[in-house]
Amino acid sequence: MTGAPNRESLIDKFGRTIDYVRISITDRCDFRCVYCMSEDMQFLPRNEILTLEELGVIGKTFVEMGVKKIRLTGGEPLVRQNCIKLIQELGALKDLEELAITTNGSQLEKLAPEIKNAGVKRINISLDSLLPEKFKSLTRTGNLHQVLRGIEAARSVGFERIKINSVILKNRNEKEVIPLTKFAIANGLDITFIEEMPLGVIDSHDRAEVYYSSDKIKGDLETVFTLSATNESTGGPAKYFKLPDSTTRIGFISPHSHNFCGDCNRVRVTVEGRLLLCLGQEHSIDLREIVRKWPGRTDPLKTAIKKSMSIKPEGHTFDLNEQPIIFRHMSHTGG
């Protein structure tokens, strides 16, 4: 689908076109992944989080400003009550080329058909281990079998593409890289390995100690598979490789070893309506104030969003050896 010629476009002061928005629709989650949350998380009070209607208006406004892709995330987006209503509303926006979801998979067994019918073509499902005990120790509260049933449900409704996301930590799950890749190949899925990012204070490990680089993961994979580089992109920061005789693509998101900021095309909206211009910086504007002052209106939002382009930073400055400078957890940020 091509956008109408008179649609606006969002361009930041470094000349990057912003056509991708990740919207966190809840900060809550049924898991407590060790790299994402602390065990004892405080969640936002209800009145501080945007309603589904407010999230819908914000999504629509971005699409009218040239955004082609929206990813719903969280927290766990599929635990938000009535999330399907929002998914349907955004899925019906005719100028939106792609509506995607990132999920931990726990609710997919139940919701996969409705998500597919609402127009979602691609989903990302997080999976860091195929060993039940290890999966439990990484997610603290997750149940591997429930997630595997969710993946199966997603496969059977026929999404165009399903991608597994795996965060790899040294001495925790780096031995899972090959089994996870074999699982992806056997099930016709893509898989992306992610370097852990220092977002928020966590209590389970020292992030520098568990750092396992994308190059190490690639080296491990090359003991078994032949990887060839591609220029393919899914509009995000991953770099992809192909395998012979397989549709599976293997991606790497490498904030530490291969900075991806130069071609950044995205911004994030947190569930309390903070428009974050960069994952790894605090530059932001408050959209909640605007959407609550002028309910249902897109023009005041457009003015603010356009202005925000002048404060989008050049890139993140993550340093695993320093205390986190970003106190937001990934679950709050919208990964």
Interface positions with ligand SAM (CB under 6 A): 29, 35-36, 73-74, 76, 102-104, 126, 165, 167, 194, 196-197, 199, 330-331, 335
Q: How far is the CB of 36 from ligand SAM (least distance, A)?
A: 3
Q: Which residues of 21-34 are buried (b: 16+ CB within 10 A; e: fewer)?
A: bbbbbbbbbbbbbb
User: Which of 284, 308, 282, 303 shows the shortest CA–CA distance to 293?
Assistant: 303
Structure tokens at 1: 């689908």
**32, interface contact from ligand SF4, ligand SAM, none, CB < 5-8 Å by kind:** ligand SF4
* Nearest partner of 71 among 33, 135, 122, judged by Cα: 122
Q: Is 29 in the site for ligand SF4 (CB under 6 A)?
A: yes
The 10 Å Cβ neighbour count of residue 328 is: 18
- In one letter, which amino acid is 59? G
Examine residue 33 and tell whether it contacts ligand SF4 (CB under 6 A): yes
Asked if residue 32 binds ligand SF4 (CB under 6 A), the reply is yes
With residue 153 as reference, give the H or E element that holds it. Answer: helix 144-157
CB of 166 to ligand SAM, least distance (A): 7
CB of 36 to ligand SF4, least distance (A): 3
Tell which one of 12, 24, 31, 162 touches ligand SF4 (CB under 6 A): 31
Residue 234 interface partner, choices ligand SAM, ligand SF4, none, CB cut-off 5-8 Å depending on type: none
Interface residue with ligand SF4 among 10, 18, 21, 37 (CB under 6 A) is 37
Residue closer to ligand SF4, measured from CB, 59 or 334: 334
Tokens linked to 73: 């995330």
Of 43-102, binders to ligand SF4 (CB under 6 A) are 74-76
Residue 94 CB burial class (10 angstroms; 0-12, 13-18, ≥19): exposed
Rounded to the nearest whole angstrom, what is the least distance from the CB of residue 40 to ligand SF4 in the complex?
13
Site for ligand SF4 in 107-136 (CB under 6 A): 126
Listing DSSP states for 31-69 in one string gives ---TTT--SSPPPPPGGGSPPHHHHHHHHHHHHHTT--E
Binding site for ligand SF4 (CB under 6 A): 29, 31-33, 36-37, 74-76, 104, 126, 330-331
